[in-house]
Amino acid sequence: MTKENVQGASEEEQQAQSKKALKKQQKEAEKAAKKAEKQAKLASEQQEAEEDDFAMDRYGICPMVQSQQKLDRALVRVQDLTPEKAEQQIWVRARIHTSRAKGKQCFLVLRHQQFTVQALLAVGDRASKQMVKFAANLTKESIIDVEAVVKKVEQKIESCSQQDVELHVERIFVISQSEARLPLQLEDAVRPEGEGDEEGRATVNQDTRLDNRVIDLRTTTSQAIFRLQSGVCQLFRDTLINKGFVEIQTPKIISAASEGGANVFTVSYFKTSAYLAQSPQLYKQMCICADFDKVFCVGPVFRAEDSNTHRHLTEFVGLDIEMAFNYHYHEVIDSITDTMVQIFKGLRDRFQTEIQTVNKQYPSEPFKFLEPTLRLEYKEAVAMLRAAGVEMGDEEDLSTPNEKLLGRLVKEKYDTDFFVLDKYPLAVRPFYTMPDPNNAKYSNSYDMFMRGEEILSGAQRVHDAQLLTERAMHHGIDLEKIKAYIDSFRYGAPPHAGGGIGLERVTMLYLGLHNVRQTSMFPRDPKRLTP
């Protein structure tokens, strides 16, 4: 018996596998051969041209940057190419966004992140015919280093972000070549929805975008969305750290599926099974019982829900808060709403460029909020909905369409895109929710909404082991599975409340986008696990 057989593969299987591997290798070899051929052709063309090419050392394809040398050469960023740099000779690294040959000239648009600049090569003293041809033949999305003189222009270049200057190229070298055939065109990917249809131009559908995310993320819209999202995280944490919160790290692999075990992913864990945490809540609460008083965490949250909607992901980023309070859970609501307001203000004041960039492709109204934040009771919301013709019971949960409608009604009445809905019916909340002391039908729990969609769910938690046991039994939860959780409250526990915010939803709704996949770099849903 061969070693491989011991590991379980039959000889036939092995042969099939090695055939497959062989085929793959052949394919790769063919590909390599083709590429070599192409490069040889390019090289021979260049050689041919060299004889009468005075500019032959001013352009070409660089060897792969393998850290061969520490070159003492400053690279200027595209965004820094302004009239103050006029007449300076500089080096720039950028991608070829577009390229257009016109007689003895070649116009390039060079791009770095969301910034673009026009560059010009013209046959003359500094560029040969061959050099201009070389530039004109470069594939879009290739990365190049150019040496150029910055020139002020008479007429603004409307198609570029740097409208007042252009580059007169003197040297041009390829750092990384792109394949000629792109899976999607960047100009199609930033075209506003609808505009494509009208003018017979292409737009790019969502699956094509996500399948080719590396290219789709290069668009001005994507660059803006994810820079702003980075800002949301930063504002969230900075605000909380200023308020005296401590950042914690909670485990994602857990031994027991909390809350009954529905919608939870199972993990093989050595010789046993484990689960992926649906929220860090139980751990946040343990930190409160361990006297950290005010804690937050930012991390992945997993939901095995087979929901294929515009706002559900199977993995998303939770911005989680938990906080001990003195006498009333509204102390915590106030802390959370103030944090949200600081985020909204920070985005408005520091990310205006990004907001406007996204609006070009996806127009939306500026996000409105009040100070202090509007807080409505569930009862009031039900009354508003009923007045608008909705039929619903006092203790019935809000459906998604009713949440949307409520959002519109609140916007009309109070002119805000952000509000808190307080005092949910006890029946529609999890077992660890503190009942309202004055009305057994309700609870000390709340949701927060942006543009009529829920972004946070939270509550005062039951901090008494006895009451928690009763509530868990009432919900039919196996006490054995939540023993460690309940035991956490046996040795003195401060009253506390908290909540979890969905990062992708906050970004989506702040920007007025319509699909959470636009604000998740590599979204996961029941049908998508790649890239």
**Residues belonging to the active site:** 303, 305, 311-312, 454, 457, 505
Task: Read off φ and ψ for residue 474, nearest 5 degrees.
Answer: -60, -35
- In the three-class reduction of DSSP (H, G, I as helix; E, B as strand; rest coil), residue 268 is classed as strand
Q: How far is the CB of 391 from a second copy (least distance, A)?
A: 29
Interaction pattern, residues 25-64, with a second copy; x per rule: CB under 8 A: x--x---x--x----------------------------x
Using rule CB under 8 A, residue 252 touches a second copy? yes
Give the Cα separation of 132 and 101 in Å (integer): 8
> Could you tell me if 78 and 94 are in contact, meaning their C-beta atoms sit under 8 angstroms apart?
yes
Judged by CB under 8 A, the residue of 268, 372, 387, 393 near a second copy is: 268
Q: CA angle 423-428-431, nearest 5°?
A: 95
Using rule CB under 8 A, residue 262 touches a second copy? no
Binding piece for a second copy, criterion CB under 8 A, among 100-108, 164-172, 327-335, 348-356: 327-335
Interaction pattern, residues 146-185, with a second copy; x per rule: CB under 8 A: -----------------------------xxxxx--x---
388: amino acid identity, one letter: A
Instruction: Please say which residue, 31 or 386, places its beta carbon nearer to a second copy.
Output: 31
Q: Which of 156, 159, 155, 157 is nearest to 190 (CA)?
A: 159
Count other Cβ atoms within 10 Å, centred on residue 213: 15
Interaction pattern, residues 459-478, with a second copy; x per rule: CB under 8 A: -x--xx-xx-x---x-----
Q: How far is the CB of 467 from a second copy (least distance, A)?
A: 7
Binding piece for a second copy, criterion CB under 8 A, among 81-89, 164-172, 383-391, 483-491: 483-491
Binding piece for a second copy, criterion CB under 8 A, among 44-52, 196-204, 221-229, 342-350: 221-229
Cis peptide before 280 (omega within 30 of 0): no
Using rule CB under 8 A, residue 361 touches a second copy? no
Judged by CB under 8 A, the residue of 117, 276, 323, 382 near a second copy is: 276
Cis peptide before 531 (omega within 30 of 0): yes
Judged by CB under 8 A, the residue of 47, 269, 356, 396 near a second copy is: 269
Alpha carbon 275 to its chain centroid, in Å, reads: 25
Using rule CB under 8 A, residue 303 touches a second copy? no
Instruction: Please say which residue, 94 or 167, places its beta carbon nearer to a second copy.
Output: 94
400-410 CB burial, b ≥16 within 10 A, e <16: eebbebbbebb
What tokens appear for 470 in the block?
């009763």
Please give the C-alpha separations between residue 377 and each of 181, 357, 381, 383, in angstroms, as whole numbers.
56, 37, 7, 10
Total number of residues shown for the chain: 531
Q: Tell me which residues in 88-127 interact with a second copy (CB under 8 A).
A: 93, 95, 112-113
Binding piece for a second copy, criterion CB under 8 A, among 5-13, 149-157, 231-239, 383-391: 231-239
| Beta strands at 89-102 and 165-176: parallel, antiparallel or unpaired | unpaired
Using rule CB under 8 A, residue 223 touches a second copy? yes
Q: How far is the CB of 313 from a second copy (least distance, A)?
A: 10
Give the Cα separation of 151 and 169 in Å (integer): 10
Using rule CB under 8 A, residue 401 touches a second copy? no
Q: SS in 3 state form for 180-199?
A: CCCCCCHHHHCCCCCHHHHH
Binding piece for a second copy, criterion CB under 8 A, among 45-53, 65-73, 154-162, 202-210: 65-73
